[in-house]
Structure 1
Amino acid sequence: MDKSDKTLWAELVTRVARAQDAQAFTMLFEHFAPRVKAFLMKSGADPTTAEECAQDVMATVWHKAAQFDPARASAATWIFTIARNRRIDMLRRDRRPEPEDLPWGPDSETDQFDALALQQDTEKLAQALNALPEKQRKMIESAYFGDLTHNEIADETGLPLGTIKSRIRLALERLRHSMTEQKETT
């Protein structure tokens, strides 16, 4: 891909962002959708899943074209980053049990000591979360309770990806330290 191709793709994404230009999107779709599908298949997705994911990626390009910043990345890099994130989301989803895979009926009797210990750990974690600085707590809540990827948090907050990762890493270190400290005092 030469410089003129990079300029063309950036211009097309910009046209989609500014005017929802269907012709520009069609050109992007025809070029990138097969490449995204091939990329996803090389990373282990079956053809049907790769096709669905590629279409989802291109729909995201249509809806979030305004978030593209040619100063930060080329259009191809931006689109393939979306594809990589969708692939990660697919892997996470595939690892989750489906409702029919979850056990039904009453669980075996939980030992009262285990139930009390779990309740205490939950309360300690809630206290540790509340003790975090607000910016770090919000990142943890988005990543772990909101189930957002780091890139999705960056898109949502407008913060650089590095800032998101640093805040989450620092928050996890604080939580780990706080939980360890609380266990040592009990």
Structure 2
Amino acid sequence: MPTSEELNRLAEAVARSADRQAFAALFKHFAPRVKTYLVRLGTSDGLAEELTQEAMVLVWRKAASFDAARASVSTWIFTIARNLRVDHFRRLGNRIVDAQEPDAEEAPDSLPQPDELLLIHQREAGLRQALDKLPAEQARVLRLSFYEEQPHAQIARELGIPLGTVKSRVRLAVMHLRRLLDGLE
């Protein structure tokens, strides 16, 4: 499992020289994680696969816009995937609202409605704001654990801290997030 720094270097290699091997390594690492992330957001399996492919194509095409100083490559890639999902449902919602003719396609009941998409977007924004209020060390451990899906032992090695400290930070961060999201702080 590559470290965040190794993943950043792979993305930079793709940006600098269109390095196909670096992109293959990024694809192998992120494609299954992005698909899982999209499915967890409520996206159907088939659409999640399609959006994952589209996200990875954008990673290849827009690698030059990646800036490791602003975010890790995983944050950048997951943001691309999330934005593609939101755009997909916005387009679908607009087509459904505008389609008045009798033979127009209707969305299956399993697709989120525009108000549900708005609620999802608001929750995501609230979570991002709450994450920004966490102490830096707690936020970093949470991002590595939940967004990058790294095991606690790997996080401990990467950050050079004891495993127990990683677990404590995750627990404290989750408790702190709950208080922030419940409006108690």
State the TM-score, normalized to the length of structure 2: 0.52
Could you tell me which residue of structure 2 aligns to residue 95 of structure 1? Answer: 93
The correspondence for 1:16, drawn from 10, 14, 17, is 14
CA distance in 2, matches of 1:13, 1:34: 17
How far the C-alpha of 1:34 sits from its partner, in A, is: 0.6
Q: Which amino acid aligns with 2:90?
A: R
Which is greater in Rg? 1
Aligned residues: 102
CA distance in 2, matches of 1:50, 1:68: 23
Secondary structure at the residue paired with 1:96?
A: helix
Q: Which of structure 1's runs of 4+ aligned residues deviate more than 6 A?
A: none
Gaps of 5+ in 2: 103-185
Deviations 1:5-60 (A, max 9, x none): 11111000000001100000000001101100010111111011000000000000
Deviations 1:128-158 (A, max 9, x none): xxxxxxxxxxxxxxxxxxxxxxxxxxxxxxx
Distance change >3 Å, CA 41–CA 72, structure 1 → 2: same
Of all paired residues, the percent bearing the same amino acid is: 48
Q: RMSD of the alignment, in Å?
A: 2.0
Secondary structure at the residue paired with 2:69?
A: coil
How far the C-alpha of 1:103 sits from its partner, in A, is: 2.9
Secondary structure at the residue paired with 1:49?
A: helix
State the TM-score, normalized to the length of structure 1: 0.51
Secondary structure at the residue paired with 1:32?
A: helix
